[in-house]
Structure 1
Amino acid sequence: MGESFAYDGKSKTASFGTKAGTFKYLDEVSYARIDGKVDSVYFKNWKNPEGLKFTIANQKYLHGMGAILDSYSFYNDEEIVSVDYNLNGAYKKLTGYIGIDDYTRNSKNSGSLVIKGDGEELFRKDEMKGGDMPESINVDVTGVLKLQIVFEAALDKGEQIDIVLGDAKLIK
Protein backbone atom coordinates (compact mmCIF):
# COMPACT_ATOMS: atom_id res chain seq x y z
CA MET A 1 0.00 0.00 0.00
CA GLY A 2 3.00 2.30 0.34
CA GLU A 3 1.94 3.48 3.83
CA SER A 4 3.53 3.00 7.24
CA PHE A 5 2.08 0.38 9.58
CA ALA A 6 1.72 0.63 13.36
CA TYR A 7 0.31 -1.76 15.93
CA ASP A 8 -0.66 -0.80 19.50
CA GLY A 9 -0.62 -4.02 21.54
CA LYS A 10 -2.28 -2.40 24.55
CA SER A 11 -5.41 -1.39 22.63
CA LYS A 12 -4.95 -4.12 20.01
CA THR A 13 -5.25 -1.53 17.25
CA ALA A 14 -3.53 -1.60 13.88
CA SER A 15 -3.21 1.50 11.71
CA PHE A 16 -1.87 2.37 8.27
CA GLY A 17 -0.44 5.76 7.35
CA THR A 18 0.24 8.71 9.61
CA LYS A 19 -1.94 9.08 12.65
CA ALA A 20 -3.99 12.29 12.40
CA GLY A 21 -2.81 14.98 14.75
CA THR A 22 0.73 13.68 15.21
CA PHE A 23 3.29 16.43 15.49
CA LYS A 24 6.95 17.31 15.81
CA TYR A 25 8.29 20.24 17.76
CA LEU A 26 9.87 22.68 15.33
CA ASP A 27 13.07 22.75 17.42
CA GLU A 28 13.42 18.98 16.82
CA VAL A 29 13.19 19.29 13.02
CA SER A 30 16.46 19.92 11.17
CA TYR A 31 16.51 23.33 9.54
CA ALA A 32 17.75 23.81 5.98
CA ARG A 33 19.54 27.13 6.53
CA ILE A 34 19.70 30.32 8.57
CA ASP A 35 20.02 33.68 6.80
CA GLY A 36 21.43 36.53 8.85
CA LYS A 37 23.55 36.13 11.94
CA VAL A 38 23.49 32.38 12.69
CA ASP A 39 24.64 32.96 16.30
CA SER A 40 21.52 35.02 17.02
CA VAL A 41 19.10 32.05 16.67
CA TYR A 42 18.55 29.63 19.55
CA PHE A 43 16.58 26.40 19.81
CA LYS A 44 14.84 25.09 23.00
CA ASN A 45 16.46 27.72 25.27
CA TRP A 46 18.89 30.61 25.39
CA LYS A 47 22.60 29.83 25.73
CA ASN A 48 23.60 32.83 27.86
CA PRO A 49 23.02 32.16 30.63
CA GLU A 50 23.07 28.46 29.83
CA GLY A 51 19.64 26.81 30.02
CA LEU A 52 17.56 29.99 30.40
CA LYS A 53 14.08 29.07 29.10
CA PHE A 54 12.16 31.11 26.55
CA THR A 55 9.69 33.18 28.60
CA ILE A 56 6.87 35.47 27.39
CA ALA A 57 4.93 37.38 30.09
CA ASN A 58 6.05 34.90 32.77
CA GLN A 59 5.03 31.88 30.63
CA LYS A 60 7.99 29.53 30.15
CA TYR A 61 8.31 27.32 27.06
CA LEU A 62 10.21 24.04 27.02
CA HIS A 63 10.33 23.99 23.21
CA GLY A 64 10.65 26.67 20.58
CA MET A 65 13.09 29.04 19.00
CA GLY A 66 14.23 32.55 19.73
CA ALA A 67 16.23 35.26 18.00
CA ILE A 68 18.33 38.00 19.61
CA LEU A 69 18.12 41.05 17.36
CA ASP A 70 19.65 44.51 17.23
CA SER A 71 22.13 43.95 20.03
CA TYR A 72 25.03 46.40 20.31
CA SER A 73 27.50 43.65 21.15
CA PHE A 74 30.32 42.68 18.82
CA TYR A 75 28.68 39.38 17.88
CA ASN A 76 25.21 40.54 16.88
CA ASP A 77 24.19 43.75 15.14
CA GLU A 78 21.53 42.25 12.86
CA GLU A 79 17.95 43.44 12.78
CA ILE A 80 16.62 40.50 10.72
CA VAL A 81 17.25 36.76 10.68
CA SER A 82 15.35 33.88 9.09
CA VAL A 83 15.27 30.11 9.49
CA ASP A 84 14.25 27.87 6.57
CA TYR A 85 12.84 24.34 6.76
CA ASN A 86 12.26 21.84 3.95
CA LEU A 87 8.81 20.47 4.81
CA ASN A 88 8.20 18.74 1.46
CA GLY A 89 4.44 19.02 1.93
CA ALA A 90 4.48 16.67 4.95
CA TYR A 91 2.62 18.92 7.42
CA LYS A 92 -0.74 20.67 7.70
CA LYS A 93 -0.40 23.17 10.54
CA LEU A 94 2.20 25.20 12.41
CA THR A 95 1.05 26.18 15.90
CA GLY A 96 2.71 27.94 18.81
CA TYR A 97 2.94 31.15 20.81
CA ILE A 98 4.78 34.29 19.80
CA GLY A 99 6.01 37.28 21.74
CA ILE A 100 8.96 39.13 23.21
CA ASP A 101 11.09 37.32 25.77
CA ASP A 102 10.93 38.73 29.29
CA TYR A 103 14.70 39.36 29.18
CA THR A 104 14.05 42.31 26.82
CA ARG A 105 10.56 43.24 28.07
CA ASN A 106 11.67 46.85 28.74
CA SER A 107 13.22 47.38 25.31
CA LYS A 108 12.05 50.44 23.37
CA ASN A 109 12.33 48.33 20.24
CA SER A 110 9.48 46.25 18.81
CA GLY A 111 9.60 43.09 16.76
CA SER A 112 7.87 41.24 13.96
CA LEU A 113 7.48 37.58 13.16
CA VAL A 114 6.67 36.54 9.59
CA ILE A 115 5.94 33.00 8.41
CA LYS A 116 6.31 32.25 4.71
CA GLY A 117 5.44 29.14 2.75
CA ASP A 118 7.13 28.70 -0.63
CA GLY A 119 7.88 32.44 -0.68
CA GLU A 120 4.30 33.54 0.06
CA GLU A 121 3.44 35.27 3.33
CA LEU A 122 1.18 33.02 5.42
CA PHE A 123 1.29 34.95 8.71
CA ARG A 124 2.61 38.27 10.02
CA LYS A 125 2.59 39.88 13.44
CA ASP A 126 4.14 43.35 13.70
CA GLU A 127 4.69 45.71 16.63
CA MET A 128 5.26 43.03 19.25
CA LYS A 129 6.46 44.71 22.45
CA GLY A 130 7.91 43.42 25.68
CA GLY A 131 5.34 42.67 28.36
CA ASP A 132 2.60 41.80 25.84
CA MET A 133 0.84 38.50 26.48
CA PRO A 134 1.91 35.61 24.21
CA GLU A 135 -0.24 35.31 21.10
CA SER A 136 -1.38 31.91 19.89
CA ILE A 137 -0.77 31.16 16.21
CA ASN A 138 -2.28 28.48 13.97
CA VAL A 139 -0.90 28.65 10.42
CA ASP A 140 -2.02 26.39 7.55
CA VAL A 141 1.08 24.89 5.92
CA THR A 142 -0.72 22.24 3.85
CA GLY A 143 1.37 21.44 0.78
CA VAL A 144 4.21 23.81 1.75
CA LEU A 145 7.57 22.63 0.50
CA LYS A 146 9.76 25.35 2.05
CA LEU A 147 8.82 27.05 5.32
CA GLN A 148 10.58 30.24 6.38
CA ILE A 149 10.36 31.86 9.83
CA VAL A 150 11.51 35.51 9.79
CA PHE A 151 12.37 37.44 12.97
CA GLU A 152 12.73 41.21 12.54
CA ALA A 153 13.47 44.17 14.81
CA ALA A 154 11.67 47.43 13.99
CA LEU A 155 14.62 49.71 14.75
CA ASP A 156 17.99 49.41 13.07
CA LYS A 157 20.68 49.94 15.72
CA GLY A 158 17.97 50.52 18.30
CA GLU A 159 17.82 48.37 21.41
CA GLN A 160 18.16 44.62 21.70
CA ILE A 161 14.94 42.66 21.37
CA ASP A 162 14.52 38.90 21.80
CA ILE A 163 11.65 37.39 19.80
CA VAL A 164 10.29 33.96 20.73
CA LEU A 165 8.22 31.34 18.93
CA GLY A 166 7.34 29.07 21.86
CA ASP A 167 5.98 25.51 21.81
CA ALA A 168 6.10 25.59 18.01
CA LYS A 169 4.62 22.38 16.57
CA LEU A 170 4.38 21.08 13.03
CA ILE A 171 1.21 18.98 12.85
CA LYS A 172 0.70 16.24 10.24
Structure 2
Amino acid sequence: MKFIKNKSQFISGVVVGGLLFGAVGAFAAGGQMIEVFYNVKNIKINNVSKMPSESKPFVKDGVTFVPLRFVAEGLGQAVKWDGKTQTVLIGETGEENVTYLGNGITAMNFQTSRGGGYSSIIDGTEYDKGGDGAKKMPKDIAGNEYSDYSTAWSYEDTTIEYPLNGKYKKFKATIGIPYDYRENTTTGKLEISVDGTLFKTIKLEPGKFSENIELDVSHANKMAFKLSDDESGSSKYIVVGIYKGRLTN
Protein backbone atom coordinates (compact mmCIF):
# COMPACT_ATOMS: atom_id res chain seq x y z
CA MET A 1 0.00 0.00 0.00
CA LYS A 2 1.35 3.43 -0.90
CA PHE A 3 1.01 6.18 1.67
CA ILE A 4 1.82 9.89 1.38
CA LYS A 5 2.62 12.14 4.32
CA ASN A 6 3.76 15.72 3.91
CA LYS A 7 5.79 17.47 6.55
CA SER A 8 2.99 19.45 8.19
CA GLN A 9 0.67 16.45 8.37
CA PHE A 10 3.42 14.37 9.91
CA ILE A 11 4.11 16.90 12.68
CA SER A 12 0.56 17.89 13.59
CA GLY A 13 -0.78 14.40 13.05
CA VAL A 14 1.34 12.71 15.56
CA VAL A 15 4.80 11.69 15.23
CA VAL A 16 6.57 9.05 15.85
CA GLY A 17 7.57 5.48 16.25
CA GLY A 18 10.57 6.88 18.05
CA LEU A 19 8.38 7.50 21.10
CA LEU A 20 8.19 3.75 21.55
CA PHE A 21 11.10 2.35 19.62
CA GLY A 22 13.81 5.00 19.61
CA ALA A 23 13.65 5.70 15.88
CA VAL A 24 12.58 8.88 14.12
CA GLY A 25 11.95 9.09 10.38
CA ALA A 26 12.89 12.20 8.38
CA PHE A 27 10.63 13.59 5.69
CA ALA A 28 11.87 15.68 2.81
CA ALA A 29 10.30 19.08 2.20
CA GLY A 30 7.24 18.71 0.00
CA GLY A 31 6.63 15.12 1.07
CA GLN A 32 7.65 11.76 -0.34
CA MET A 33 6.04 8.45 -1.24
CA ILE A 34 6.51 5.71 1.34
CA GLU A 35 5.21 2.15 1.72
CA VAL A 36 3.51 1.27 5.00
CA PHE A 37 1.57 -1.67 6.43
CA TYR A 38 -1.57 -1.25 8.54
CA ASN A 39 -1.10 -4.51 10.41
CA VAL A 40 -1.22 -3.27 14.02
CA LYS A 41 -4.27 -5.08 15.42
CA ASN A 42 -4.25 -3.83 18.99
CA ILE A 43 -2.54 -1.43 21.40
CA LYS A 44 -2.61 -1.93 25.17
CA ILE A 45 -1.89 0.86 27.64
CA ASN A 46 -1.39 -0.49 31.17
CA ASN A 47 -2.84 -3.78 29.88
CA VAL A 48 -6.04 -2.11 28.64
CA SER A 49 -6.83 -2.48 24.93
CA LYS A 50 -7.23 0.89 23.23
CA MET A 51 -6.83 1.84 19.59
CA PRO A 52 -6.87 5.39 18.18
CA SER A 53 -9.99 6.15 16.16
CA GLU A 54 -8.04 8.33 13.73
CA SER A 55 -4.45 8.27 12.42
CA LYS A 56 -4.17 4.50 12.63
CA PRO A 57 -0.80 2.99 13.65
CA PHE A 58 1.30 1.55 10.85
CA VAL A 59 4.61 -0.25 10.28
CA LYS A 60 7.36 0.96 7.99
CA ASP A 61 10.76 -0.73 7.63
CA GLY A 62 10.17 -2.67 10.83
CA VAL A 63 9.35 0.45 12.88
CA THR A 64 5.86 0.91 14.35
CA PHE A 65 4.51 4.46 14.11
CA VAL A 66 1.90 5.38 16.75
CA PRO A 67 0.10 8.73 17.26
CA LEU A 68 2.05 10.71 19.82
CA ARG A 69 -1.03 12.43 21.30
CA PHE A 70 -2.80 9.09 21.67
CA VAL A 71 0.09 7.52 23.61
CA ALA A 72 0.84 10.59 25.75
CA GLU A 73 -2.78 11.16 26.79
CA GLY A 74 -3.25 7.43 27.36
CA LEU A 75 -0.44 7.72 29.92
CA GLY A 76 -2.04 10.75 31.52
CA GLN A 77 0.32 13.32 30.00
CA ALA A 78 -0.63 16.49 28.16
CA VAL A 79 0.91 16.96 24.71
CA LYS A 80 1.32 20.21 22.82
CA TRP A 81 2.99 21.43 19.63
CA ASP A 82 4.96 24.68 20.00
CA GLY A 83 5.10 26.07 16.49
CA LYS A 84 7.44 28.91 17.44
CA THR A 85 10.22 26.62 18.62
CA GLN A 86 9.23 23.58 16.51
CA THR A 87 9.05 21.51 19.70
CA VAL A 88 6.75 18.74 20.92
CA LEU A 89 5.94 19.29 24.60
CA ILE A 90 4.85 16.31 26.72
CA GLY A 91 3.75 16.76 30.33
CA GLU A 92 5.13 19.97 31.81
CA THR A 93 5.22 22.83 29.31
CA GLY A 94 7.32 25.37 31.15
CA GLU A 95 4.36 27.53 32.09
CA GLU A 96 5.11 30.63 34.16
CA ASN A 97 3.00 32.18 36.93
CA VAL A 98 1.23 28.97 37.86
CA THR A 99 -1.04 28.83 40.92
CA TYR A 100 -2.07 25.35 42.08
CA LEU A 101 -5.35 24.62 43.82
CA GLY A 102 -4.33 24.15 47.45
CA ASN A 103 -1.22 26.28 47.09
CA GLY A 104 -1.81 29.99 46.66
CA ILE A 105 -5.56 29.61 46.30
CA THR A 106 -7.90 27.92 48.79
CA ALA A 107 -11.56 26.99 48.58
CA MET A 108 -14.02 29.64 49.71
CA ASN A 109 -17.00 27.29 49.89
CA PHE A 110 -17.48 23.55 50.40
CA GLN A 111 -20.91 21.93 50.59
CA THR A 112 -22.03 18.31 50.58
CA SER A 113 -25.32 16.54 51.03
CA ARG A 114 -23.75 13.76 53.10
CA GLY A 115 -21.38 14.70 55.92
CA GLY A 116 -18.69 13.55 53.59
CA GLY A 117 -15.08 14.13 53.05
CA TYR A 118 -12.70 16.29 51.19
CA SER A 119 -8.98 15.62 51.27
CA SER A 120 -6.21 17.84 49.92
CA ILE A 121 -3.04 16.47 48.41
CA ILE A 122 -0.21 18.88 49.09
CA ASP A 123 3.33 18.64 47.69
CA GLY A 124 2.54 15.32 46.09
CA THR A 125 1.55 13.52 49.30
CA GLU A 126 -1.91 12.60 50.49
CA TYR A 127 -2.71 12.26 54.17
CA ASP A 128 -5.33 9.58 54.64
CA LYS A 129 -7.35 10.93 57.56
CA GLY A 130 -9.62 7.92 57.69
CA GLY A 131 -6.85 5.31 57.57
CA ASP A 132 -3.47 4.74 59.11
CA GLY A 133 -2.07 8.18 58.34
CA ALA A 134 0.14 6.85 55.58
CA LYS A 135 1.35 9.32 52.96
CA LYS A 136 1.52 8.35 49.31
CA MET A 137 1.87 9.86 45.85
CA PRO A 138 -1.49 10.58 44.22
CA LYS A 139 -2.15 8.34 41.19
CA ASP A 140 -4.79 8.37 38.49
CA ILE A 141 -6.70 5.31 37.28
CA ALA A 142 -3.86 4.31 34.94
CA GLY A 143 -1.33 4.38 37.80
CA ASN A 144 0.39 7.63 36.74
CA GLU A 145 1.82 9.47 39.75
CA TYR A 146 1.55 13.23 40.23
CA SER A 147 4.11 15.09 42.31
CA ASP A 148 2.48 18.52 42.31
CA TYR A 149 -0.58 19.90 44.02
CA SER A 150 -3.72 17.86 43.46
CA THR A 151 -7.02 17.23 45.20
CA ALA A 152 -9.25 14.22 45.63
CA TRP A 153 -12.75 14.35 47.07
CA SER A 154 -15.92 12.32 47.22
CA TYR A 155 -19.63 11.99 47.97
CA GLU A 156 -22.67 12.89 45.95
CA ASP A 157 -23.97 16.41 45.40
CA THR A 158 -20.73 17.99 46.58
CA THR A 159 -19.75 21.49 45.47
CA ILE A 160 -16.48 23.29 46.04
CA GLU A 161 -15.76 26.86 44.88
CA TYR A 162 -12.55 28.81 44.39
CA PRO A 163 -12.21 32.62 44.18
CA LEU A 164 -10.51 33.81 40.99
CA ASN A 165 -11.16 37.56 41.29
CA GLY A 166 -10.34 38.15 37.62
CA LYS A 167 -6.66 37.30 38.16
CA TYR A 168 -6.27 34.28 35.88
CA LYS A 169 -6.50 33.37 32.20
CA LYS A 170 -6.49 29.56 32.03
CA PHE A 171 -7.36 26.57 34.22
CA LYS A 172 -5.65 23.29 33.42
CA ALA A 173 -5.84 19.88 35.07
CA THR A 174 -5.97 16.14 34.59
CA ILE A 175 -9.28 14.86 35.98
CA GLY A 176 -10.53 11.34 36.58
CA ILE A 177 -11.08 8.50 39.02
CA PRO A 178 -8.15 7.93 41.45
CA TYR A 179 -6.19 4.69 41.23
CA ASP A 180 -7.34 3.48 44.65
CA TYR A 181 -10.95 3.64 43.43
CA ARG A 182 -10.42 2.04 40.02
CA GLU A 183 -12.71 -0.89 40.93
CA ASN A 184 -15.53 1.36 42.12
CA THR A 185 -18.58 0.61 39.93
CA THR A 186 -20.44 3.82 40.70
CA THR A 187 -20.81 6.25 37.78
CA GLY A 188 -21.21 10.00 38.02
CA LYS A 189 -20.07 13.33 36.68
CA LEU A 190 -18.05 16.40 37.55
CA GLU A 191 -19.44 19.73 36.38
CA ILE A 192 -17.11 22.75 36.19
CA SER A 193 -18.76 26.18 36.19
CA VAL A 194 -17.29 29.65 35.86
CA ASP A 195 -19.32 32.54 37.27
CA GLY A 196 -22.42 30.36 37.31
CA THR A 197 -22.09 29.19 33.68
CA LEU A 198 -21.43 25.48 33.03
CA PHE A 199 -18.17 25.20 31.09
CA LYS A 200 -17.36 21.48 31.20
CA THR A 201 -18.97 18.17 32.20
CA ILE A 202 -16.71 15.15 32.74
CA LYS A 203 -18.30 11.71 32.93
CA LEU A 204 -16.84 9.45 35.62
CA GLU A 205 -17.24 5.75 34.96
CA PRO A 206 -15.30 2.52 35.61
CA GLY A 207 -12.24 2.03 33.41
CA LYS A 208 -12.30 5.50 31.87
CA PHE A 209 -8.90 7.17 31.52
CA SER A 210 -8.33 10.57 33.08
CA GLU A 211 -9.03 13.59 30.89
CA ASN A 212 -6.78 16.59 30.31
CA ILE A 213 -8.73 19.84 30.27
CA GLU A 214 -7.99 23.49 29.59
CA LEU A 215 -10.57 26.21 30.25
CA ASP A 216 -10.55 29.93 29.55
CA VAL A 217 -11.27 31.70 32.85
CA SER A 218 -10.29 35.22 31.78
CA HIS A 219 -11.92 37.92 33.96
CA ALA A 220 -13.84 35.28 35.95
CA ASN A 221 -14.67 35.89 39.63
CA LYS A 222 -15.09 32.28 40.75
CA MET A 223 -14.87 28.68 39.58
CA ALA A 224 -17.01 25.86 40.97
CA PHE A 225 -16.75 22.07 40.84
CA LYS A 226 -19.90 19.98 41.44
CA LEU A 227 -19.57 16.23 41.90
CA SER A 228 -22.61 13.96 41.69
CA ASP A 229 -23.21 10.23 41.26
CA ASP A 230 -25.88 8.49 39.20
CA GLU A 231 -27.44 6.70 42.15
CA SER A 232 -28.62 9.56 44.34
CA GLY A 233 -29.76 8.50 47.78
CA SER A 234 -27.87 5.19 47.75
CA SER A 235 -25.03 4.22 50.05
CA LYS A 236 -22.58 4.30 47.14
CA TYR A 237 -20.29 7.21 46.39
CA ILE A 238 -18.14 8.57 43.60
CA VAL A 239 -14.57 9.86 43.95
CA VAL A 240 -12.77 12.27 41.63
CA GLY A 241 -9.14 13.31 41.43
CA ILE A 242 -8.18 16.76 40.14
CA TYR A 243 -4.51 16.23 39.35
CA LYS A 244 -2.22 19.24 39.01
CA GLY A 245 -5.18 21.63 38.96
CA ARG A 246 -3.53 24.93 38.11
CA LEU A 247 -4.40 28.47 37.13
CA THR A 248 -2.16 30.56 34.89
CA ASN A 249 -2.01 34.29 34.32
Question: Shorter-normalised TM-score: what interval?
Answer: 0.7 to 0.9
CA 171–38 in structure 1, closer or farther in 2 if over 3 Å, else same = farther
Deviation at 1:42, TM superposition (A): 1.4
TM value normalised by structure 1: 0.75
Stretches of structure 2 that go unaligned for 5 or more consecutive residues are 1-94
CA apart distance, 1:85: 1.2
CA displacement 1:88-125 (0-9 Å, x = unmatched)? 10001110101111222112211211111110011111
The alpha-carbon distance between structure 1 residues 142 and 152, as it changes in their structure 2 partners (threshold 3 A), is same
The residue identity in structure 1 corresponding to 2:137 is K
With a CA cutoff of 8 Å and minimum separation of 6, indicate the structure with the bigger relative contact order: 1
1:25 aligns with 2:100: yes
Counterpart of 1:53 in structure 2 is 137
What is the DSSP-based 3-state SS (H/G/I as helix, E as strand, rest coil) of the residue aligned with 1:59? coil
1:31–1:84 contact (8 Å) kept in structure 2:
yes
- State TM-score, norm by structure 2: 0.53
**What does the per-residue CA deviation read over 1:15-44, in whole Å, with 9 as the maximum and x for residues that have no partner?**
xxxxx8411111211211101157511111
Paired position in structure 2 for 1:15: none
> Number of aligned pairs?
143
| Percentage identity across paired residues of the two chains | 20
Question: 1:145, 1:21 → 2: CA distance?
Answer: 21
Would the aligned equivalents of 2:173 and 2:244 in 1 still touch at CA under 8 Å?
Answer: yes
The answer to whether the 8 A contact 1:99-1:130 is kept is: no
State how far apart, in whole Å, the 1-side matches of 2:188 and 2:146 are.
19
- Structure 1: stretches of 5+ with no match in the other structure: 1-19, 70-78
2:181 corresponds in structure 1 to 104
The aligned runs of 1:1-172 (5 Å cut-off) are 21-28=96-103, 29-36=105-112, 39-44=116-121, 45-47=126-128, 48-49=130-131, 50=133, 51-56=135-140, 57-62=142-147, 63-69=149-155, 79-126=156-203, 128-156=204-232, 157-172=234-249
> Aligned Cα RMSD in Å?
1.9
CA positional deviation for 1:167 = 0.6
Q: Distance in 1 between matches of 2:153 and 2:247?
A: 19
Question: Which moves more between the two structures, 93-102 or 152-161?
Answer: 152-161
Change over 3 Å in CA distance of 1:38–1:147 after alignment to 2: farther
